[in-house]
Structure 1
Amino acid sequence: MRQRDRLRVGGAGHGDFDHPGADLRFREDAEHPGGPVIALLWLVIVAVPLLVLFGATLRTQDDYLDNGPLAVPDAVTADNYLSVFDKGFATALGNTVMVTAGTVALVMVTAIPAAYAIVRSPSRIVSSGFRMFLLGLAIPMQVTVVPIYLVITRLHLYDSLLAVVLPTAAFSLPVSVLILASAMRDVSEEVYEAMALDGANSWRVLLNLVVPMSTSAISTIGIYSALQAWNGFLFPLVLTQSAEQRVLTLSLWEYQTQFGINVPGLLAAVVLSGLPIFIAYLFARRALTSGLMGVGGK
């Protein structure tokens, strides 16, 4: 009873806090009184551009040009969303999905065994190779465009989706291996020894122990590599040419002509192209946050 009395704050006028977590939240609010105001301000900063973006997609081109982007629409129309599919949006969406799926699969297949080998190998050569591997984080992809173009043409992969998948996955690997290696180091050595006593080989330990205990990190690199592939522009621009291999980022150019830009139609295409990856983020945001926080804590 005395412990419950200690948790009561301020008497009846301030309410009763019967749970230690409630007392903790009360103290945090008292220490940071401006937190809710800052959060509300940040929400406004983020939400207003999105509302303007979505509102512009429901307007005609004449209405947008005559009244400006912030005006209330004279009439709401969905023609911009319907016209998107007349400009090859479905083909570009399918190509982007294939590039994204291929990139994520390639990153998973290569990054998970590589990170496991780095964590479990006692060799200094492997450790030094890992440090050299991380130098890829310091190399801008723009610097490698010409060598990559020459390699792709020598392999006769130019103007194919595979030509986009390979370099995109390569540039996603350094961050992916770093995140996975950080997560795999958290697995207790005693657990590894117990698996070894059961006669488990390296592949069994990886598949039955390490992978299930690294799901947050795996989800993180999956989302990261998917974003890299979905939003990629440079490699599709340089390594593809035909309309059949066009991805979403390149299809947005269709709204620019010699007479101007169809801004509402362009924004409608932007909304539709960003919707799938946004939905995927909503389902995996907790795993993404957990994986990134784990790396930051090392």
Structure 2
Amino acid sequence: MARTHGGSAEGTGAAGDRPPTRRPRWSFPLVPLMGIVWFAAAFYPVYYMLISSLREQGDYLEGSPWLPPLEPVLSNYAAVLRSGLALYFANSLFVVALSVALIVFVSFLAAYAIARIRSRTMRAVFNTFLMGLAIPLQAAIIPVYLLIVELGLYDTLYALIPPQVAFGIPLTVLILVNFIRDIPNELFDAMKLDGGGHRRTLRTLVLPLSRPALVTVVIYNALQAWNNFLFPLVLTQSANVRTIPLALQQFQGQYGVNVPGLMAAVLLSTLPIIVLYIVARRQLLGGLAAGFGR
């Protein structure tokens, strides 16, 4: 009986040592809620521009700004297209395409040389590129203006390309150098053993592996060139060489602003960037997450 009592006591003690089971507590969904708040804050300006562009100019101040108009109209978009927006689109596309092509071409070759050639000269070149990040665009606008005038490019679309390329190269080189340095050295050694020179290494090894970084810098520089306002304002003055940011000024009159027309023009001007982001979204995210491993 004693053993039985002692055994039951031991069993009771062993069972009592177990931690009590806790019921799962209700957790507040903070992360999904913050995501919803962020989405609403980011989407509302687009929604506001859309519903404003569908209103008549005289009825803009009437009704709730949160709700779409009862009788939406497309006259603002028609007025924007009649105002020469196609020409401004073409001017912006010309400047963006040529500027981005030059930025990526020069930066890719420079980044490969800096990443693969270990010397004091290449280190000094890299430091020179990094110094370009510290020069604000506004501080250099007067020297840029004088250079463009001396080159005879003032009031032409070609006047917008050299300064855009000059200010786009430093950050592009920095991104590409860090990305190329992350490529394993064994792959470069294999290319050397296979008899491949620098041109073949660039074409068959570095270029395919650097595609995410290249897409990233292409989208970034295209966005910077497309939205640039200071260079067209200072370096051009004729109406036939206006770009999109400068052309949006014409919707501002002497005594007021045509807000619905301006919203329609802004929405149309953002379409190329939105399409570019949708097409290259996966490569863009991969380039933003990689290239800084060292």
Bucket of the pairwise TM-score, normalised by the shorter protein: 0.7 to 0.9
More off after superposition, 31-40 vs 216-225: 31-40
Query: Unpaired runs of 5+ in structure 2?
Result: 1-25
User: Aligned equivalents of 1:52 and 1:208: distance in 2?
Assistant: 47
The CA deviation string for residues 150-183 of structure 1, in whole angstroms up to 9 with x for no partner, is 1111000111111111111211111111111111
Specify the code of the residue in structure 1 equivalent to 2:218: G
The correspondence for 2:211, drawn from 190, 215, 220, is 215
Measure the CA separation in 2 of the matches of 1:149 and 1:282.
Answer: 36
CA shift at 1:289, angstroms?
Answer: 1.7
SS of the residue corresponding to residue 280 of structure 2 reads helix
Q: Alpha-carbon deviation of 1:68? A: 6.0
Question: Take 1:103 and 1:268, find their aligned partners in 2: how far apart are those partners?
Answer: 27
Q: Segments of 4+ in structure 1 off by > 3 A?
A: 30-33, 66-72, 295-298
- 131-140 or 269-278, which moves further after superposition? 131-140
Match of 2:146 among 143, 150, 153: 150
Note if contact 1:179-1:291 (Cα within 8 Å) is conserved in structure 2: no
What does the per-residue CA deviation read over 1:121-140, in whole Å, with 9 as the maximum and x for residues that have no partner?
11112112202211111111
CA distance in structure 2 between the partners assigned to 1:68 and 1:190 by the alignment: 64
Question: Counterpart of 1:174 in 2: which secondary structure?
Answer: helix
Q: Which residue number in structure 1 is paired with residue 156 of structure 2?
A: 160
Pairing partner for 1:40 from 26, 33, 36: 36
Indicate the residue corresponding to 1:257 in structure 2: 253
Runs of at least 5 residues in structure 1 that lack an aligned partner in the other structure: 1-29
Amino acid at match of 2:60: Y
Looking at structure 2, the residues matched to 297 and 274 of structure 1 have their Cα atoms a distance apart, in angstroms, of: 33
In 2, distance between residues paired with 1:127 and 1:31? 53
Structure-1 residue corresponding to 2:282: 286
Q: Which amino acid aligns with 1:187?
A: I
Question: How far did 1:72 drift?
Answer: 4.1
Instruction: Note if 1:182 corresponds to 2:183.
Output: no
TM-score (norm 2): 0.88
Q: 2:56 matched to 1:63?
A: no
Identity score, percent: 45
CA-atom RMSD in angstroms: 1.8
1:224 aligns with 2:223: no
Bigger Rg, which one: 2
Amino acid at match of 1:234: L
Provide the residue aligned with 1:86 in structure 2: 82
If the length of structure 1 is used for normalisation, what is the TM-score?
A: 0.86
- 1:78-117 equivalent positions in 2, closer than 5 A: 78-117=74-113
Distance change >3 Å, CA 72–CA 189, structure 1 → 2: closer
